[in-house]
Amino acid sequence: MVGALACSDADDGAGDRDPLAVRGERVYLNVCVACHHGDPAEVGSVGPAIAGSSRELLEAKVVRGEYPPGYTPKRETAAMPPQAYLADQIDALEAYLAEAAETDATP
């Protein structure tokens, strides 16, 4: 009976993290780190810090290469190519970037 307490998803190393954020992290580490920092709260080699980005911003910028109406971009360049194939990963990216923003708040 004691064994029943074993964590069933321990094999993915995710602990008690939100599975959506874990998926978003995979996408981030595969795609976004080419330009953004490995820690989304820091400025990357090419791209700005993006921890805490809203879903609206991510959808506009990542999928369409645009910004939401009224949003003031961190940079005036347009160096980031839109990546429309990531349209179904926006929720995951948002979850991961929200988590990254929270982690950053801890000293």
Q: Which residues bind ligand HEC (CB under 6 A)?
A: 31-32, 34-36, 46-48, 50, 53, 57-58, 61-62, 73-75, 77-81, 83, 86, 93
Determine the Cα–Cα distance for residues 95 and 68; give it in Å rounded to an integer.
Answer: 19
Torsion-angle region of 72 (φ positive above 0: left; ψ -120 to 50: alpha; else: beta): beta
**Cβ proximity to ligand HEC, 46 vs 102, nearer residue:** 46
Residue identified by tokens 């961190």 is: 74
**Cβ proximity to ligand HEC, 9 vs 75, nearer residue:** 75
**Cβ proximity to ligand HEC, 19 vs 85, nearer residue:** 85
Sign of CA dihedral 53, 47, 24, 70: positive
Least gap, CB of 39 to ligand HEC (angstroms) = 14
**Cβ proximity to ligand HEC, 17 vs 67, nearer residue:** 67
Sign of CA dihedral 97, 82, 88, 54: positive
Determine the Cα–Cα distance for residues 29 and 85; give it in Å rounded to an integer.
Answer: 16
Least gap, CB of 3 to ligand HEC (angstroms) = 40
Least gap, CB of 72 to ligand HEC (angstroms) = 8
